[in-house]
């Protein structure tokens, strides 16, 4: 057996993260670790990679017992890991990050030519065309993910741990990675694969081990795994449908933009509308500019031109604080870097966008009891697990962190909600809860804009769909025209606007080079 864990337990104050878990990995197989956020997957792979120590249980590599495993010892034994949270240094180049701590030397000096040759071999094998001299700070999130994967593969690993490796990749980039995984398996590498994407699991898994609330539910073979069986094992309940029934009843325009442009060219002449009582989707490949639309409307990106209205009122998005007061909320795609204060209590991250309201802190004094009551109510509605609002956000799983961020939308009266990649890196059970939250907002009459790289998500939730390519909207699809084939056609730049968006709402104001 390549790797074997027996009776692994890990207990944190008040929480049993793992309870006597058995797990093993054979050479040349892909063993998927599956479960809801908070099930114990991250703790388990942390122990297998030497980042955490188990409270009880034993580990063995190549049938030899291993004690006091740490990251250095794991690397020496051929265990490499790619985690969902990046471990890159933004101020260093791609090449320096790939070899950080493992530089190739010659005659006592770093041999950058040898490093570059080795790095290019690995990147070519992955099918990734990334300049080695580029600074990581300037890369897209998808390219950062590619660098993380190359960093793990730069040494000859016998065990490779991949934690949600395709969460930031397009479908074509994900397919390239899956092809690499197949090649590594053929070379005899044992791969522990953590993913919530059922398509990937069906394509890769030899075996699947399911965890739930820190306990082992069972291990099944890939051929025996159906979507229904995996979801039931993961959640302990049957889920009839992933996507809720969306009752769109479009009314007056809630959000309208026209001619929206950024000075650096990432957006050009964007025009769209979102009506109250409907969800509208923006689809496109990574880097097409779809996230910039939400950020620009929320006042994060500086506009060079455009017309904007919220609820029929002319607005000039200068800052997030201003847009919140206008009744518009934006939930960023990178919740850890931009959406949450990870080391602070849940209650603070949830309430931070509502402290100007009179009943919480508008008078200059923070009303702690009111804050705690409102946040507790919001977290109860979103089924936060565990529900302790005083715990630090960093202690939560990805799905529960997303709920904390979404809870802000329940603490103030809002008209427009913009969701940017609302389900990235969260499990199927948490996705169902997020989708239900979006459906409830739409049915309550809110205007909802969904920006997503998950095509099934866009197709299932949207009343209308805008497709973007290279900073422009190239298609607007509605009704029977909103098909996967038509969306994919737009991904590659075929411009065919089915309707002219009604962005000339009353009171719109044109913006030129706002200060």
pLDDT for the residue numbered 506: 39
Question: Do 134 and 195 reside in the same domain of the chain?
Answer: yes
- How do beta strands 496-497 and 303-310 pair? unpaired
pLDDT (mean) for 379-384 = 90
CATH number (domain holding residue 477): 3.40.50.300
Q: How confident is the model at residue 266 (pLDDT cuts 50, 70, 90)?
A: very high
Question: Given a cut of 80, is residue 497 above it in pLDDT?
Answer: no
- End-of-domain residue from the set 387, 412, 437: 412
pLDDT tier, 240 (very low <50, low <70, confident <90, very high otherwise): low
pLDDT of 160 > 90? The answer is yes
* % of the chain exceeding 70 in pLDDT: 94
> Are 395 and 429 members of one domain?
no
Least confident of 229-243, 298-312, 321-335, 432-446: 229-243
Q: Taking a C-beta distance cutoff of 8 angstroms, is the pair 39, 213 a contact?
A: yes
On whether both 201 and 105 belong to a single domain, the answer is: yes
Statement to judge: residues 314 and 442 lie in one domain: yes
pLDDT in tens, 270-329: 999 999 999 999 999 878 999 999 999 999 999 999 989 999 999 999 999 999 999 999
Residues 396 and 380 in one domain: yes
Residue 397's nearest CA partner among 384, 410, 380 is 384
More confident position, 451 or 336: 451
Counting the structural domains of the chain, the total is 3
pLDDT beyond 90 at 174: no
Stretch among 327-331, 443-447, 455-459 having the lowest mean pLDDT: 455-459
Answer whether residue 344 shows pLDDT above 60. Answer: yes
Strands 79-82 and 159-163: parallel
For residues 141 and 196, state if they share a domain. yes
Same domain (yes/no): 201, 250: no
In this structure, are residues 230 and 242 in contact, taking their beta carbons and an 8 Å threshold? no
> Do residues 77 and 149 share a domain?
yes
What's the mean pLDDT when you consider all of the chain?
Answer: 89
Of 52-66, 75-89, 167-181, 285-299, the one with minimum mean pLDDT is: 167-181
Over 50: is that where the pLDDT of 505 sits?
A: no
- 150 & 31 share domain: yes
pLDDT of residue 146: 82
Domain hosting 143: range is 3-235
Comparing C-alpha atoms, which of 329, 334, 347 is closest to residue 448?
Answer: 329
322 plus 341 within the same structural domain? no
Least confident window among 168-182, 298-312, 374-388: 168-182
Burial per residue of 334-346, b for 16 or more beta-carbon CB atoms within 10 angstroms, e otherwise: ebbeebbeeeebb
Across 241-245, 414-418, 493-497, least confident range: 493-497
More confident residue, 96 or 508: 96
Tell me: pLDDT of 514 over 50: no
Q: Of 7 and 175, which is predicted with more confidence? A: 7
304 φ, ψ (degrees, to nearest 5): -100, -20
Q: Which pTM value belongs to this model?
A: 0.67
- Does one domain contain both 320 and 463? yes
- 472 Cβ neighbours under 8 A, 6+ residues apart: 267, 268, 269, 270, 289, 495
Domain termination residue (choose one: 391, 412, 433): 412
DSSP annotation string for 157-200: -SEEEEESTTTTS-HHHHHHHHHHHHHHHHTT-EEEEE---HHH
Cis preceding-peptide flag for 386 (omega within 30 of 0): yes
Written as six digits, the tokens of 470 are 């290279």
Q: Can you give the pLDDT at residue 168?
A: 66
Last residue of a domain, one of 209, 235, 261: 235
Same-domain check for residues 56 and 203: yes
């Amino acid at each position: 057996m390549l790797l074997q864990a027996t009776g692994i337990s890990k207990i944190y104050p008040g929480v049993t993260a793992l309870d006597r878990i058995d797990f093993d990995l054979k050479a040349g197989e892909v063993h998927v670790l599956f479960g809801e956020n908070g099930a114990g997957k991250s703790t388990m792979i942390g122990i297998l990679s030497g980042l955490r120590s188990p409270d009880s249980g034993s580990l063995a590599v190549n049938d030899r017992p291993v004690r006091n495993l740490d990251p250095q010892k794991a690397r020496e034994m051929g265990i490499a890991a790619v985690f969902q949270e990046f471990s890159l240094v933004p101020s260093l180049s791609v090449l320096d990050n790939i070899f950080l701590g493992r530089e190739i030397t010659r005659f006592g000096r770093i041999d950058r030519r040898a490093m570059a040759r080795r790095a290019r071999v690995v990147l070519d094998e992955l099918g990734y065309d990334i300049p080695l001299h580029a600074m990581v700070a300037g890369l897209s999130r998808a390219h950062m993910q590619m660098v993380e994967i190359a960093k793990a593969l730069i040494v000859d690993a016998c065990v490779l741990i991949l934690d949600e490796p395709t969460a930031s990749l397009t479908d074509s980039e994900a397919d390239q990675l899956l092809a690499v995984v197949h090649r590594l398996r053929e070379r005899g590498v044992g791969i522990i694969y953590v993913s919530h994407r059922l398509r990937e699991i069906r394509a890769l898994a030899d075996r699947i081990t399911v965890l739930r609330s820190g306990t082992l539910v069972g291990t099944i073979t890939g051929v025996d795994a159906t979507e229904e069986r995996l979801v039931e094992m993961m959640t302990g309940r049957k889920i009839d449908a992933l996507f809720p029934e969306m009752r769109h009843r479009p009314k007056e325009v809630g959000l309208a933009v026209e001619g929206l442009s950024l000075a650096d060219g990432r957006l050009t002449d964007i025009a769209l509308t979102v009506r109250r009582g409907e969800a509208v989707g923006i689809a496109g490949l990574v880097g097409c500019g779809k996230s910039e639309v939400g950020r620009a409307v929320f006042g994060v990106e500086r506009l060079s031109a455009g017309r904007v209205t919220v609820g029929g009122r002319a607005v000039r998005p200068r800052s997030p604080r201003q847009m919140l007061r206008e009744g518009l909320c934006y939930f960023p795609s990178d919740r850890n870097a931009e959406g949450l204060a990870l080391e602070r209590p849940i209650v603070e991250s949830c309430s931070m966008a509502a402290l100007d309201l009179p009943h919480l802190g508008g008078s200059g004094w923070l009303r702690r009891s009111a804050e705690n009551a409102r946040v507790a109510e919001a977290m109860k509605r979103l089924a936060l697990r565990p529900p302790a609002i005083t715990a630090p956000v960093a202690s939560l799983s990805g799905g529960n962190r997303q709920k904390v961020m979404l809870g802000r939308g329940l603490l103030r009266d809002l008209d427009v909600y913009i969701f940017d990649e609302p389900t990235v890196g969260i499990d199927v059970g948490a996705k169902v809860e997020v989708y239900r939250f979006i459906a409830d907002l739409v049915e309550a009459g809110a205007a909802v804009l969904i920006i997503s790289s998950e095509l099934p998500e866009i197709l299932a939730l949207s009343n209308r769909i805008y497709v973007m390519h290279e900073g422009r909207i190239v298609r607007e699809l509605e009704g029977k025209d909103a098909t996967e084939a038509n969306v994919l056609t737009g991904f590659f730049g075929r411009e065919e606007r089915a309707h002219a968006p009604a962005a000339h709402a009353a009171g719109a104001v044109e913006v030129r080079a706002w200060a």
